[in-house]
């Protein structure tokens, strides 16, 4: 399952605003290099459950997409820091990071449905960005309708568009911030082989967050993996980015 980048733009967010209002990881705004792509596992990495054993379909979005409930009324949502991390990754002043998923769940369709139902909140700086959008020289792109109030058919962020930037002023499906998605049972090396073939990004430019040590075998390909102990947090992202830098000799 893959989504490729394409489309029109939203304005990049200044580093100070990303840190203070969007609450981005420190490494996103410290001026040092970042990997070209960050890839996340799903279960116990982006959300605190196994989607193939804890969730019983059908799912229904609740509370403006901040959570979903299943057949028995159980609620499912991201770990608390995840929405701001995903938003920040796509609103960097220097341009958006590529994002991917690599999950070996036995219920890929259910995981996909959950990613469609869970939404990321609007950027808290949307109004100030909207006021400055016409004069902004740094922008990101979002593939969707010209009006920010309409739901895009595909909502992937990318760079390189010359059209006028627009702010991210309405909730966005979590699904739409991921550029490359591989969700199927099996060895995670297969997931990364597919992601690399589709994206063209070198393995050494990928950072992977996962909660299972067995998936460190992706490092045989050149990927940097950071093991998370209790879900993705801003500090875990910072630790992973710093480890990636150390391995490339970029940490100062």
Active site residues: 41, 43
The answer to whether 24 touches 18, Cβ cutoff 8 Å, is yes
**What DSSP state is assigned to residue 48?**
S
As a three-state string, the secondary structure of 77-101 is CCCCCHHHHHHHHHCCCCCCCEEEE
Of 103, 242, 243, 96, nearest in space to 179 by CA: 96
Would you call 52 exposed, middle or buried from its count of C-beta atoms within 10 A (0-12, 13-18, 19+)?
Answer: middle
Q: Which residues contact 33 (CB under 8 A, 6 or more apart)?
A: 245, 248, 250
User: By three-state DSSP, how is residue 36 classified?
Assistant: coil
Return the bridge partners of 172, or none.
Answer: 120
């Amino acid at each position: 399952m893959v989504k490729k980048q394409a489309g029109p733009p939203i304005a990049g967010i200044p580093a100070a605003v990303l840190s203070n209002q969007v609450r981005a990881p420190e490494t996103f705004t410290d001026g040092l290099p970042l990997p070209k792509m960050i890839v996340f596992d799903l279960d116990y990495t982006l959300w605190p459950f196994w989607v193939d054993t804890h969730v019983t379909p059908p799912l229904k979005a609740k509370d403006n997409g901040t959570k979903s409930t299943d057949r028995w009324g159980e609620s499912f949502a991201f770990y608390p820091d995840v929405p701001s991390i995903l938003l920040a990754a796509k609103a960097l002043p220097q341009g958006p990071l590529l994002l991917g998923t690599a999950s070996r769940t036995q219920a890929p369709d259910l995981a996909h449905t959950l990613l469609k139902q869970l939404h990321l909140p609007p950027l808290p700086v949307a109004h100030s960005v909207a006021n400055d959008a016409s004069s902004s020289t740094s922008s990101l792109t979002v593939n969707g309708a010209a009006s920010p109030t309409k739901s895009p058919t595909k909502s992937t962020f990318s760079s390189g568009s010359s059209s006028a930037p627009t702010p991210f002023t309405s909730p966005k499906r979590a699904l739409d911030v991921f550029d490359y998605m591989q969700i199927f049972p099996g060895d995670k090396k297969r997931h990364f082989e597919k992601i690399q073939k589709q994206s063209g990004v070198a393995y050494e430019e990928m950072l992977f967050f996962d909660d299972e040590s067995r998936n460190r075998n992706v490092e045989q390909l050149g990927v940097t993996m950071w093991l998370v102990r209790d879900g993705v947090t801003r500090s875990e992202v910072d630790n992973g980015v710093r480890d990636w830098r150390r391995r490339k000799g970029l940490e100062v």
